[in-house]
Amino acid sequence: MSSNSRKQKEKSNYPFTFNVIPETLESPFKELFPSYPEGLVQSEPGNFVYHPLYSKNADEFYNFPKRKDDVWIRTFPRSGTTWTSELTWLIMNDCNFEEANKIPLTIRSPNIDTCYATNLQSIASQGFSSTVPTLEKLADLPSPRVLKSHLAAYLLPPDLLDACKDIRKEIRKIGQFLNKQLTDEQIEKLVEHVKVDNFSKNKSVNLTMEIESGLINEGHSFVRKGTTQSPFKEHFPAYTDGLVQSNPGNFVYHPLYGANAKKFYDFPIRKDDVWIRTFPRSGTTWTSELAWLIMNDCNFEVANTIPLTVRAPNIDTCYCTNWEAKATDELKDALPTLDKMDFLTSPRVLKSHLPAYLLPPNLMDTCKDIRKEIKKIAAFLGKTVTPEQIEKLVDHVKVDNFSKNASTNKCKGLS
């Protein structure tokens, strides 16, 4: 089969279509966002909104050729991606600090969707343009590649998890990372429990309580009623009070979160908390169910009785829309408001889609022994690090040093 024929076949098997959002071609959007002269596009299904340049290449992301030894870092923007990828790249490359300080991180560990979030190549200088990480350039990276993405999971290769051939081995490694020993019997039960077919039918993890109460419809979307003359209110009737934006950071969210933002920042953390911070629809539910079971000695009886939203709550769920105003009395008791987090038994498994800078600034301080954590990360990646390398890594990723590292900060060349 020729290369062109193969590409045509891949496009014909692509399950998404993208359409321009008409309002993004009109005022006031064009005045507020002049960098998007062609507007924005939205996927069907999924309702994922992005730059038109991405939609023209979306099938190539979906059919991206993976390697068995690729390391993928999929995160929410501004959630510690750069720090994590630098540490990971160094561990995977035998702590080669000389190369790390010479070659920008954006080249060593590229974000595969950076070039498609805006027309980066057209505004870059000629010298910088040649280093912009387009999809075709990723094939030239030596293995093991450390790749980053902020895309939703369903827009990436559908068999991405298949790259992990031995799920039992990976579950054991996750258990070690969480300082939990798992028996062979527990591992087999976990493998069966988190199989996609079984997981999709599990009422405990699929918001059954919220759906039966009428709070959420069958499509897992917020219930929306009514329209007004305002274009924004027409499309987002659940946000009758509009949206708020943080300064600095420009984070946009529900006003209810804005009224409680300081509580998130001052949230009392425990030493044995397990935090799962992710991009929405990126495997958060699957990961949190596995983490909760590992941390709770594979107590499947409790897992099948108590909803995951109660056992491993998303701390910002109640603040992205006014859930309490719509919920039944029974559901109100189960909604994970911040004040209820104190009553959760340790170890708590907590989820959040908030960017790192809006969460407690001492969150990383709960990791008292960063050397021990680096060893665990290395073990998870199948690498061994010497004591000397660990000391160099500790010094390299200290916030003060990291913020001054030219290799990990933005490259010059953009106008």
Least confident of 72-76, 163-167, 305-309, 311-315: 163-167
pLDDT at 8: 47
Task: Give 186-222 pLDDT, tens digit per residue.
Answer: 999 998 888 777 877 777 666 665 556 554 555 443 2
Selected residue with higher pLDDT from 162 and 70: 70
Helix (H, G, I), strand (E, B) or coil at 314: strand
Higher pLDDT, 229 or 378: 378
Residue 17 has pLDDT above 90, yes or no: yes
Which sequence spans correspond to the domains of the chain?
167-353
Written as one string, the DSSP assignment of 123-140 is HB-HHHHTTS--GGGGGG
pLDDT (average), residues 58-63: 93
Residue 183 has pLDDT above 70, yes or no: yes
DSSP codes, 11-42: HHT---EEEE-GGGGSTTHHHH-TT-TT--EE
| 3-class state of residue 52 by DSSP | helix
pLDDT band at 411 (very low <50, low <70, confident <90, very high): very low
Other C-beta atoms lying within 10 Å of the C-beta of residue 199: 15
Say whether pLDDT at 361 is over 90: no
Looking at residue 5, its pLDDT comes to 47
| pTM for this model (two decimals) | 0.64
Report CA-CA distances (Å) from 230 to 23, 39, 110, 321.
12, 19, 40, 19
Contacts by 205-208, CB closer than 8 A, 24 or more apart: 205/285, 205/289, 205/307, 205/308, 207/307, 207/309, 208/307
Q: Is the pLDDT of residue 408 over 80?
A: no
pLDDT at 227: 30
Of 58, 56, 71, 63, the C-alpha closest to 141 is 71
123-150 pLDDT, tens digit per residue, is 555 555 667 788 888 999 999 999 999 8
Q: Over the chain, what is the mean pLDDT? A: 81
Close Cβ partners of 276 (under 8 Å, ≥ 6 residues apart): 284, 287, 288, 291, 312, 349, 350, 351, 352
E strands in 87-241: 146-149
Average of pLDDT values for 93-121? Answer: 86
CA distance linking residue 350 with residue 341, whole number of Å: 9
Question: Number of C-alpha atoms within 13 angstroms, CB side, residue 211?
Answer: 12
Most confident of 18-27, 211-220, 365-374: 18-27
Q: Quickly list H helices, 70-154.
A: 81-92, 97-102, 105-108, 120-123, 126-129
Residue 168 has pLDDT above 70, yes or no: yes
Q: How high is the pLDDT of residue 118?
A: 73
Is residue 333 within 8 A of residue 310, CB to CB? The reply is: no
Query: Which pLDDT belongs to residue 320?
Result: 84
CB atoms within 10 A of CB 257: 22
In the chain, the amino acid numbered 343 is: F
Q: What is the pLDDT of residue 206?
A: 67
Q: Which two tokens stand for residue 384?
A: 């061994």
